[in-house]
Chain A
Amino acid sequence: MYVAVKGGERAIDNAHTWLAEERRGDISVEELSIAQIREQLALAVARVMAEGSLFDPDLAALAIKQARGDMIEAVFLIRAFRTTLPRFGASEPIDTGAMTCDRRISATFKDVPGGQVLGPTFDYTHRLIDFTLAATGELPPEAQAGEPRTEPTPHVTEFLDREGLIQTEEDDTKTPRDLTREPLDFPADRPLRLQAIARGDEGFILSMAYSTQRGYGRNHPFVGELRVGQVAIEMDIPELGFAIDIGEVTITECETVNQFMGSKSEPPQFTRGYGLVFGHCERKAISMALVDRALRWEELGEDNVGAPAQDVEFVLSHADNVQATGFLEHIKLPHYVDFQSELELIRKLRAEAETAKAEEDASPFQEAAE
């Protein structure tokens, strides 16, 4: 009976076997392949790659399968794998201006060089359950392909930049700190903040961004531009003496244009928020841009109104869902010992309180006399 309270090696093994069985589900139903997940649950794959900080669609699909569709668990699997990988070096900064855009929209201009490209989006779909998807076998009609743009698509903010209407971002050429190789340290500069938000939980970043829209650190965002597409990764190979293409990744980039009234040293101009994530993750990229902008209050000489989204330490310390879920769920672990010490204490305090009360009740006149 006493031993039963404690866990056991056999219990763990059995639990894991059962879990594997549950993961597979009814064996009369065909098993999911990695390719099916990669191709048909592509947005789930994108989210796992973004928050797992590793671009590998097949591995992300496998993680989703192994995690039974639990996204944070899948992100965790990817992170734990990623941390064991050796590092050969760093790629060149990606040039998002040169990316092949599947989708590219601006909410600030009706038309822009490079055009508005709606691309594959849920926007403007009616959210009606499509029961034909439940019936099998029917292929969707083929989408009409336009001529793909071969020339680079300029960023919308460049047009504002040319007029001096938007704040210029300076490249300080410093190598940014690496969140995965150095402990998080405050104050955190913008590259570090962006790294943390980019791998932060989509739901958390979304809620933080939403809170700024509702007035907790409002910063009037316009989606200057949102683009989704493929961008080449180049890496400098020392033996060759120049950079070569080593592959391409799908990314989503968002630049917001935000109001700014100007300060003593700066004339009124627009400011920017920036979001960049692996895969097709529009919600995350836009949220990231809003949160980035909110965290810039100090640098832009704005008031800190005490909003959560303005608090760097609060946002960065709580954005990571692998950390958060681990610590949250650890309270499932046994805490007999701590709880026992609290039990002892509360019994002792109650006993003392009862004794004190009994003494008080026994001498009702004394108090009146005093």
Chain B
Amino acid sequence: MTAQAAAAMDDYNFAYLDEQTKRMIRRAILKGLAVPGYQVPFASREMPMPYGWGTGGVQVSAAVMTPDDTIKVIDQGADDTTNAVSIRKFFERTADIDVTERTSEATIIQTRHRIPEELLNEDQILVYQVPIPEPMRFIEPRETETRKMHALEEYGLMHVRLYENIAKHGAITTAYAYPVKVEDRYVMDPSPIPKFDNPKLESEAIQIFGAGREQRIYAVPPYTKVVSLDFDDYPFDPSKANHPCALCGSVTSYLDEVIVDDKGGRMFVCSDTDYCASRIRRQEQAA
């Protein structure tokens, strides 16, 4: 960071947002935790990064952050993807807090599209970036309607959609952002994580979802029941690529497919870069 940039950031409050705004966001978070899975409207601010690029997650992280925190930022499971780098830098610059790539060392993990492979604990907060918080948005485009449906717990349409999938394709064709029911009440969009990650939504950590452009915050408190929607005869299937990781050999982690040449060659590697790197480190130590 240049001296000029550092000086410019002195004009801003800790973690960029002013305290009034943080209080407003914290109130929304507390309400979200009190009513798991319910989308709490909040007066999302314009952030210095574009809507759709994690402004909801950034606002949530900024509101829960203290100077003693250590933050990890991942996008697609990786710490070194461009937007993760950009957001991590933002907090280094505006909050001057410690950053890490190690899942176990982080107290706040901001994520886009993945839940870390390593199980989280009670001292951690997982903050999701959410593009479209409404699980029924693509069935019913009107917010006024979907809010009514949530209020009346009217989720028949959602099941009809899944049923139509099966009737047409023989399987539920939602592969990511797979809808869940939280604590037997609200149907919730877990953000576009692969359905492989859904079982990890039942966690010891606090999970907070921030949708900046859509002005919504929702949350899943620790040890909350989270069930992926399915049918008795078509149970939920958290599938993944049927390969081991080409780098660390893990057969249980979620894999990215990388095209390695123009002749159809490809390899599969862990999408969670920290998980993969830790395994390789351990293997090297053991050898």
Chain B associates with chain A = yes
Quick one: which of B206-257 are within 8 Å of A by CB? 213, 215-216, 239-241, 247, 254-257
Residues from chain A with Cβ under 8 Å of B185 in the complex? none
Residue pair A341, B195 in contact (C-beta under 8 Å): yes
Stretch at the interface among B48-56, B64-72, B117-125, B150-158: B48-56
Residue pair B86, A338 in contact (C-beta under 8 Å): no
Q: Is B176 an interface residue (CB 8 A)?
A: yes
Q: How far is the CB of A94 from chain B (nearest CB, A)?
A: 24
> Known: A83-B45, A86-B18, A340-B241. Is A7-B169 also a contact (CB below 8 A)?
no
Residue pair A8, B176 in contact (C-beta under 8 Å): no
Number of A interface residues at 8 Å Cβ cutoff, please give it.
Answer: 50
> Known: A84-B18, A337-B76. Is A79-B46 also a contact (CB below 8 A)?
yes
Q: How large is the interface on B (under 10, 10 to 19, 20 to 34, 35 or more residues)?
A: 35 or more
Residue pair A344, B240 in contact (C-beta under 8 Å): yes
Residue pair A313, B142 in contact (C-beta under 8 Å): yes
Residues from chain A with Cβ under 8 Å of B194 in the complex? 337-338, 340-341
**In whole angstroms, how far apart are the Cα atoms of A342 and B45 in the complex?**
33
The interface centre, meaning the residue of B16, B113, B177, B260 with most chain A CB atoms within 10 A of its CB, is B113
Q: How far is the CB of B72 from chain A (nearest CB, A)?
A: 15
Contact of B213 among A76, A181, A323, A341 (CB under 8 A): A323
Q: Is B192 an interface residue (CB 8 A)?
A: yes
Residue pair A341, B43 in contact (C-beta under 8 Å): no
Secondary structure of the A contact surface, majority rule: helix
Residues from chain A with Cβ under 8 Å of B195 in the complex? 341
Stretch at the interface among A150-158, A165-173, A227-235, A328-336: A328-336
The 9 lowest CB-CB distance pairs between A and B, nearest first, are A7-B82, A326-B51, A330-B52, A326-B50, A341-B175, A327-B52, A183-B41, A183-B215, A341-B194
Excluding A7-B85, A313-B143, A341-B196, 18 further A-B contacts by CB distance (< 8 Å) are: A2-B258, A2-B269, A3-B80, A8-B82, A9-B89, A84-B16, A184-B215, A185-B41, A326-B53, A327-B51, A327-B213, A333-B53, A336-B76, A337-B192, A338-B194, A340-B194, A341-B194, A349-B169
In the complex, 19 of the A-B residue pairs with CB atoms within 8 angstroms, ordered by the A residue number, are A6-B82, A8-B80, A86-B18, A183-B43, A183-B215, A323-B51, A325-B50, A327-B213, A328-B52, A333-B112, A334-B81, A336-B256, A337-B113, A337-B194, A340-B257, A343-B257, A344-B241, A345-B175, A352-B170
**Interface of A toward B, CB cutoff 8 Å:** 1-3, 5-9, 11-12, 76, 79-80, 82-84, 86, 180-187, 313, 317, 322-323, 325-330, 333-338, 340-345, 348-349, 352
